[in-house]
Amino acid sequence: MGLFQTVFRGSDEMYFKAEEELNAVIAELGEDAPMQMPDTAYFLACIYAYLGIKVTTLGELKTALGEIRKMMTRENKTASIFDSGVATAMAAEVIEACKYARTPTPYENTQYHGHFSDAEVRELGVPLVTRDIPGFVVMIGPAPSVEEAVETVKGYQSRGIFVFMIGGIIDQVHSAGMTTGFNVRAVAVGPDIWAVGHVISLVCRATFIFGATQPGDAAAFHEYTFKRIFAFVNAYKPVADIVVACGAGAIKMGFPVITNEDRDMTWPVPKSLIIYPNTKDWIETSLEARDIKIKVTNIDIPVAFSSAFEGEIIRKKDMRIEMDGSRVDCVELVRTREAHEIEDHSITVEGPDFDAFPVGAKIPIAYIVEVAGKSMQTDFEGVFERKFHSFLNCIEGVMHTGQRDMIRIRVSNASFDAGFRARHIGEVLYAKIKSEYDTVVDKCQVKIYTDPEKVKELRAEANHTFDVRDERLKSMTDESVDVFYTCILCQAFSPSHVCIVTPERLGLCGAVSWLDAKATNELDPNGPCQIVPKSRMIDERTGRYEDVNEAVNKYSHGALEQVTLYSIMEDPMTSCGCFECICGIEPLSNGVVIVNREHVGMTPMGMSFSELASMTGGGVQTPGFMGHGKHFIASKKFIKAEGGLARIVWLPKALKEQIADRLNESAKELYGIDDFTSMIADETVCTEDPEELLNFLTEVGHPVLGMDPLM
Amino acid sequence: MSEITNTFITLEEMEAATNRLLETAQKVGADTWQQRAKNQTPHCKFGEEGICCRICTMGPCRITPKAPRGICGCDRDGIVGRNYLKFTAGGAATHSDHGRSIAHTLYLAREDGDYKVTDAEKLKRIAKEWDIETEGRDIYDIAHEVAEVGLLEYGKPFGVQRFLKRAPEVRQKKWHDAEIEPRAIDREVSQSLHMTHMGCSSKAEALVRQSLRAGMSDGWGGSMMGTELSDVLFGTPKPVDTNANLGVMEEDMVNIVVHGHDPSLSEMVVFYAQDPEMVALAKEMGAKGINVCGVCCTANEVAMRHGIPMAGNFLSQENVVLTGACEAIVVDVQCIFPALGPLSKCFHTKFITTSPIAQMPDSEYIEFHEENAGANAKKIVEMAVRNFQNRNKELVHIPQLKTNATVGYSVEAIKKCLDGVTNSHVDEIGTLKPLVDAVRSGVLRGAVALVGCNNPRVRPDYSHIELMKKLIANDIICVVSGCSAQAAAKSGLLSKEAKNLCGEGLKRVCELVDIPPVLHMGSCVDISRMMVLVADLAKDWTEEIDISDLPVVGCAPEYMSEKAVSIGNYVVSTGITTFLGVNPYTKGGPGVEQWLQHDVEDWVGAHFEVELDMDKMCNRMMEVIEEKRTKLNI
C-alpha cells in the first residue's frame, strides 16, 4: 500500500499547489492574458507532449490543468501511479509557468536557471548522439554534506553526465564556490521541487525534436524516453510525498530513482526505485541502474578530463597562462610518418615549460602529433586535427578555441596549481587519438615546442601543409569523388533520419564532413557511415540519385523514400534535429532565410530559430525547410536546384561575418558578384517585417529579384 | 515452416483452422473427439457427481434420495471421498512412475552411453541436499548414487520425502501437524488403494487427508524427482525461442510429432532427426529435411531444452494427423488418445507406441528401453523418413498459424533473469528478491500458476487464454506449464510481444527483465518447479513467511486427468488456493466438498474453489490475491 498511497498524496499536493498558483495569477492578469514560455516553439512542452494541448493563454492553461487532474487516477494499479506521476510533473510545469506568465525572466538575478530554451535543448543533440553526454542526472534535495554534494556533482561531471540540481543541493555546491551553468553541464534549475517541470519540459522537447514525436501521442513519448533518453534521479532523504510522486512520473518515463529514504517509508522496485543508504556510492549505482556505460579515457594528467568541461570558459582573472595565435606564433598539426620513425607514446617538450613564464604571459606553442598506421591516409590528418578543439577543451581548467595557426589556449590558475604543464597537452592528444582512431593509428607521438624560433619555423612549415590540404579540399567536389557516405550517427535519437554526406555538403550538424565520414567508414566499416555509390544519377539539377534513394530508404528503415542533395523544394534532405542552421523560404522576396542555432531573435519569416526548427527535424521531410551545417552555406551546391546561394536574403549578422569570406568567394565565382554579403540583410536591417526586407533587397539590387519564383 | 509468424492468434482463428481440418476428417471418414464427445453426451449423472460405487461386486450402488446408502451402508460422502482418493492415487502413481523411470535412466547414464549427465552442477546440488559425498568423486558415481537414493524414495520403510526440506520451516511444520507429510511414494499410493477398498475408510475427513498426502507424494516426491533428474540428464531449461501452433509443421519436410510425457524417448528422436545420415535419407525421399515437433508435455520437454516447436496441446493431438503431413506420431506415456490408432489408418501416418505402459491397438509397437534408446530412436526416425513418399498430397493442409514463444523458465532461469535487474552495489544475486520487491511494492499484484489440460467440457483453450489475458492486464504475472502453457504459446502469450497486453506494472517488469508476461515452466511434472518457486519466494521475503501468505493462487481451468487432481491436492497442501474450472466428481458429496473447499484451510492455509464461470473465477482469483496482500499489509 505504502508506495501507491505516497504517490497519490504527493500528486494531490502538486496539483493543489498548481491550482492555487494558477488561480492567483489569473486573478491578477485575467484568463485572456498570454502564456508563453521564452524561446520555445513547443508551448508548455509537457502539456503539449502528453496532452497535445497548445497553451497560449492562462485560460487555456486552466483547461489543461483540468485535463491533468483527470490523469491523476487513484486505483491500486501501477498504471495509476504512473499516470499520476506524469501528471504531477505536468502540474509542476504549470506552477513554474505561472511565474513566466508574469515575467519572461523570473529567475533573473537569482542563482537559478529555470526554463531551458529550445536552443539549449538542440545543443544537447550532438553530444548525446556521440555519447559525450552519456546521460542526465536530476539531483533533488540536500546531500548529507556540502563536501559530498560537490564531490558527487563533480563525479558526474567528470563522467560527462549532465547534472540538473533542484533544491538544497544548489546552495550546497554554491556555498563551496562551485560554478554551475549550462556550459559546464551542471545546472541549478530551481529551489523547489516544481522546478522539475523544466527538466521534463527539456526531455519532452528533446523527444519532439529528435524523435519526431507527435503532440498528444503520450505512448510514443514514453517509448522514446524509456529507450533513448538515459536519465535518472538521485533523491536525498527526506523524500517528501511530492518528490515520490514526481519519481513515479520519472519511472514511467524510464528514469530510475536512487534514494536513501528508509525502507519503511517506501519499498524498492527493481531497476526503478533503488534504496541505497550509501550515498557516496550513488554515481556508479545510478549508472548501472540506467545501463549507462562510460567510455573510460584514463589520461595521465593532474586534472579532470570530461566532456562536461568542454564549454568551460576561463576568464582573464582566472588565467595563469595563454597561448594566443593572434599575438605570438602558435600552431597545431597532425602529420603522417613511417612506423619506424615513431616511438609510441613518446611526448617531448622543447623549450621552457609553463612554470617558466610569469602569470598571464602569452607564450608561443606548437604541438605536432605524428601518427603511423597501415590504414592511415593523409586525408585523415585534417580530420584528427579538427578534433583537437574538443579534446583539449575537455581538460578541466583549459580552454581551446580556433584551429591550425589561429588557436588560443588558456590554462586556469587552479589547473596550473594542480600541476598542469605542457606535456599534459601531449598526454591528452596521445590518449584521445589512440582511443578514437585505434583502427587506423598504430603508433603516435607528440612533440611540443615553446621555443619562439622553433615555433616560428614550424608554423611556416605547417602553413605549407595547410595550403596543400586546402588545395586538395577545394578540388574535391561532388563530381570529383566516386562515392558519398551516409551518416546515421543520430539514429540513436532520431531513428528515421539519414544524412547523405558529400564533399560539398557536410552533415547538417556541422560535425561530419565527407572526409570525416570517409575516416569513420574506414575506422568502423559496419558503423554509422556507409558508402553510397553515385553511379546512377537521375537528375543532375536537383542532385537526385537512385543509389542515394536506395540508401536513405534502407537506412531510414523505409521511413524515407527519396531525397535530393541540392534542392530545398523537391524532396529535401531530412534533419535529425541537431542542425547548426535552418533554412526556410521567404515567399515575398522569393529568397531564403538562414538562421543559426545561437541566434535568439526573430527572422523576416515571422519565426524564430526554434519555431523554424520545429517545422522539420526528427527525420521528417518538409519542402521549403531544410536543416544544414554552417559550412554548407558557401557551398556551390547550396540549393543549386533553386538557383543556389544567390537566393540567400537574410542571415544573422554574427553568422554572416563568420562565413563572409567563403560566401563572397563562391558568389564571385558563381555569379560574378562582388561583396555578396553586403547584399544580404541581417537583424540590423530588419527583424520580422518582410516588406522592410524587400525594400532593402531592392535598394542593394539583390540578384534574387531577377530569379524565377520559388513556388 | 512458413516464414511469417503471427504475433497473436485468436481462439476463433484456431477454431476455424480446426474446422477446416475436420472437413478433411469427414472426407477420409475419420472419427474425431468432437464427434465422440457428442456421442457421450449427456454424461451419466451418477458418475458426474461421484456417487456411483463399484468397488465391490455387491453393486454397482448409486445414491439417490430414495437410496441414500450403498448396500454396505456407505453414504454419499464415503463413496465420493473414496472415488476422489482413488482418482488422486491414479494421478500420483502416474507422475511418480514417470519420475521413477527418469531415475532409472539416470542410473544407466554413462560417459559413453546414450544418456549422459548434462547438468553436473545441479547433480552435485541435489547430492549435497541428500548428504551424498561429491568431493573427488567421478560424476557418474555421484549420478548413480543419487539415482539409487532417489529410487529408494519410492519404497523406503521409514521417514518422509527428502524434498520436503526445501519448503520454509513453518510450512514443513504445518505438513507435520496436519499429518500429510508423504512417506515412501509407493506407500502413499498403496495406502490410498487400501483405504478405498471395500470395508475400509468411509470418513470424508480421512479420505481427504490421504488425498492430500498422496498428492504430496507426487508433487514433493515423484514429480519433483522427474523434474530434477531430467534436468541433470537433459539440462536445466533456460530461455529459448521457439514457435507454436499447427503452422510449425512443414509441408516439404518429414514431420515427426512426439507426444506424451517422458523426455527419454523424445530426446533421442530429436538427436537422430539431426543425424546427417537421416537427413540425407530424407532428401533422397524428396523431402527438404526432418522436422520434429511436439504435442502435449513431451513438446514442453523438448521445446524448453532444444527449442523444438510445439504443434499443439492435448486436444490438438488429432489435428496434427489431420494435416495429412504427419509421417509419424511417436508416443511414450500418458494422455494419448487410443483414437490415434484408427485415425492414423485414414492417412499414411505411422502411429508408433513405444512404452509397455501405453500399448494400444492399431499402432506399430517399438518397445523402447533406456538400454537400446539410440538404436530404437534411429529406427523410428528412419521409419518416419521412409514414410514421406507415402504421403497423399491431396490431403495435405497445414493451417498457417504460427506464433513466437520464449520457453524454458526453470526456477534457476528465473533467478538468472532476475539477476539482470539487480544492482551490483545494492543487491545480492541468485535470489527471487527482485520479484519479492516487485510484488511488495505493488507493481505486480501477485502471481497465478495456470496449469492443466484441455477438456471438451470447456471450450478448448478458451479459459486458459482468456484468464491469462485478463490476469496480465491486471499486473498479475502468470507461470504456466503443461497444456496450459501450450495454449498460451499457441495464442502468442509466451512471446515477449505479449507485454503489450499487460498492465503498466507487469509491462515494465517484462521490459526490464526481458521476459514474456506468461512464463513457461515446463511440463506437468514441472509443476514441482512452481512448488520450489513459491517455497523460495516465501524464504526470500524480507522476513521468512509461509507459502500460504503469498499473493499467489493456482488454477486448472480445463483439467481432465487424474494427474491434475493429484496436482491440485499437492498445490493446495503447499498452501496455494487452487481454482478448478471442472468439477472433480465430488458434487454428490457435500461433506467431501466442505473439506476440500473450506475445512482443509485449517490444515494447510489454502483450499479448492470450483467455478465454472471464467469471468467469475478470474475476479475471485484477483480478490484472493488482494486479500493476501491486505493481510501482508502491502
> A278 contacts in B (CB within 8 Å)?
425
pLDDT band per the 50, 70, 90 thresholds, residue A296:
low
Which residue, chain included where needed, has cell 537427413?
Answer: B279
Same domain flag for A524 and A386: no
Q: Which long-range contacts (CB under 8 A, 24 or more apart) does A677-683 make?
A: A677/A651, A679/A703, A680/A648, A680/A649, A680/A650, A680/A651, A680/A656, A681/A604, A681/A649, A681/A650, A681/A651, A682/A650, A682/A651, A682/A652, A682/A653, A682/A656, A683/A599, A683/A601, A683/A602, A683/A652, A683/A653
Same domain flag for A283 and A333: no
Strand B254-259 and strand B61-62: the pairing is unpaired
Q: What is the pLDDT of residue A347?
A: 95
- A 10 A CB-CB count for A69 gives 16
Beta strands in B524-629 (DSSP E): 552-556, 578-580, 608-610
Closest residue to A276, CB basis, from B418, B425, B437:
B425
Same domain flag for A182 and A220: yes
The arithmetic mean of pLDDT across residues B469-476, rounded, is 98
Q: What is the pLDDT of residue B178?
A: 98
Closest residue to A288, CB basis, from B425, B505, B512:
B425
Which B residues 428-457 touch A at CB under 8 Å?
434, 437-438, 440-443, 445
Which of A111, A238, A115, A235 is closest to A173 using CA atoms? A111
Q: What is the pLDDT of residue A279?
A: 96
Rounded distance between C-alpha atoms, residue B528 and residue B526, angstroms = 5
pLDDT in tens, B541-587: 988 899 999 999 999 999 999 999 999 999 999 999 999 999 999 99
Pick the residue from chain A with its C-alpha nearest to B420. Answer: A271
Domain containing A540: what range?
483-706
A41-45, A328-332, A513-517: segment of lowest average pLDDT: A513-517
Contact B633 A1 (CB under 8 A): yes
What cell was used for B267? 530426446
Same domain flag for A338 and A251: no
- A371/A578: higher pLDDT: A371
What is the CATH topology of the domain spanning B68-234? Substrate Binding Domain Of Dnak; Chain:A; Domain 2 (1.20.1270)
Closest residue to B437, CB basis, from A267, A284, A288:
A267
Mutate to test the interface with A, among B432, B433, B443 (most CBs of A within 10 A): B443
Contact A78 B503 (CB under 8 A): yes
pLDDT in tens, B497-507: 999 999 999 99
pLDDT band per the 50, 70, 90 thresholds, residue A297:
low
Pick the residue from chain A with its C-alpha nearest to B474. Answer: A77
pLDDT in tens, B133-189: 999 999 999 999 999 999 999 999 999 999 999 999 999 999 999 999 999 999 999
Closest residue to B434, CB basis, from A77, A270, A289:
A270
The arithmetic mean of pLDDT across residues A208-216, rounded, is 90
pLDDT in tens, A681-709: 999 988 888 899 999 999 999 999 989 88
Same domain flag for A33 and A82: yes
Same domain flag for A646 and A516: yes
Rounded distance between C-alpha atoms, residue A309 and residue A296, angstroms = 16
Contact A272 B440 (CB under 8 A): no
- A 10 A CB-CB count for A27 gives 9
Q: What is the pLDDT of residue A605?
A: 87
- Do A497 and A574 touch, CB atoms closer than 8 A? yes
Give how many domains chain A has, as a whole number: 3
- A 10 A CB-CB count for B409 gives 29
DSSP result, B551-572? SEEEEETT--SHHHHHHHHHHH
The arithmetic mean of pLDDT across residues A411-419, rounded, is 93
Same domain flag for A121 and A266: yes
Contact A2 B634 (CB under 8 A): yes
> A252 contacts in B (CB within 8 Å)?
504
pLDDT band per the 50, 70, 90 thresholds, residue B1:
very low
> A266 contacts in B (CB within 8 Å)?
441
Which of B377, B380, B385, B326 is closest to B352 using CA atoms? B380
Whether residue A119 lies inside any domain: the answer is: yes
Q: What is the pLDDT of residue B93?
A: 98
What CATH number should be reported for the domain whose range is B406-632? 3.40.50.2030
DSSP result, B128-187? HHTT---TT--HHHHHHHHHHHHHHTTT-SSS--GGGGGS-HHHHHHHHHHT----SHHH
Q: What is the pLDDT of residue A695?
A: 92
User: Could you give the maximum distance between any two Cα atoms of chain B, in Å?
Assistant: 73
Closest residue to B426, CB basis, from A78, A79, A274:
A274
pTM, full prediction: 0.87
A294-298, A438-442, A538-542, B126-130: segment of lowest average pLDDT: A294-298
- Do A536 and A524 touch, CB atoms closer than 8 A? no
The arithmetic mean of pLDDT across residues A297-317, rounded, is 85
Q: What is the CATH number of the domain that holds A359?
A: 3.30.1650.10
What cell was used for A595? 538562421
Contact B504 A78 (CB under 8 A): yes
Contact A77 B474 (CB under 8 A): yes
pLDDT in tens, B55-110: 999 999 999 999 999 999 999 999 999 999 999 999 999 999 999 999 999 999 99
Contact A276 B426 (CB under 8 A): yes
Contact A271 B443 (CB under 8 A): no
The arithmetic mean of pLDDT across residues A62-68, rounded, is 97
Rounded distance between C-alpha atoms, residue A706 and residue A694, angstroms = 13
Rounded distance between C-alpha atoms, residue A183 and residue B13, angstroms = 59
Rounded distance between C-alpha atoms, residue B445 and residue B467, angstroms = 15
Q: What is the CATH number of the domain that holds A661?
A: 3.40.1470.10
Mutate to test the interface with B, among A6, A84, A269, A292 (most CBs of B within 10 A): A269
Establish whether the linkage from the previous residue to A572 is cis, with ω within 30° of 0: no
Whether residue A298 lies inside any domain: the answer is: no
Rounded distance between C-alpha atoms, residue B582 and residue A292, angstroms = 51
Q: What is the CATH number of the domain that holds A95?
A: 3.40.50.2030
- Boundaries of every domain in chain B: 68-234, 246-395, 406-632
Alpha-carbon gap: A706 to the closest alpha carbon of chain B (Å): 58
Q: What is the pLDDT of residue B2?
A: 47
Whether residue A466 lies inside any domain: the answer is: no
Mean pLDDT of chain A: 91
Mutate to test the interface with A, among B474, B508, B632, B634 (most CBs of A within 10 A): B508
What is the CATH topology of the domain spanning B246-395? Rossmann fold (3.40.50)
Closest residue to B437, CB basis, from A2, A270, A281:
A270
The arithmetic mean of pLDDT across residues A66-70, rounded, is 97
CB-based contacts of B606, cutoff 8 Å, min separation 6: B548, B571, B572, B573, B574, B575, B576, B577, B578, B600
Same domain flag for A397 and A533: no
> A1 contacts in B (CB within 8 Å)?
442, 633-634
Q: What is the pLDDT of residue A516?
A: 84
Establish whether the linkage from the previous residue to B356 is cis, with ω within 30° of 0: no
Whether residue A92 lies inside any domain: the answer is: yes
Alpha-carbon gap: B520 to the closest alpha carbon of chain A (Å): 22
CA distances from B187 to A355, A448, B181 (A): 92, 89, 12
Q: Is B425 on the interface with A (CB under 8 A)?
A: yes
ipTM given for this complex: 0.91
- How many percent of chain B have pLDDT more than 90? 97
Q: Do the first three CATH levels of B68-234 and B406-632 match, i.e. the same topology?
A: no
- A 10 A CB-CB count for A711 gives 8
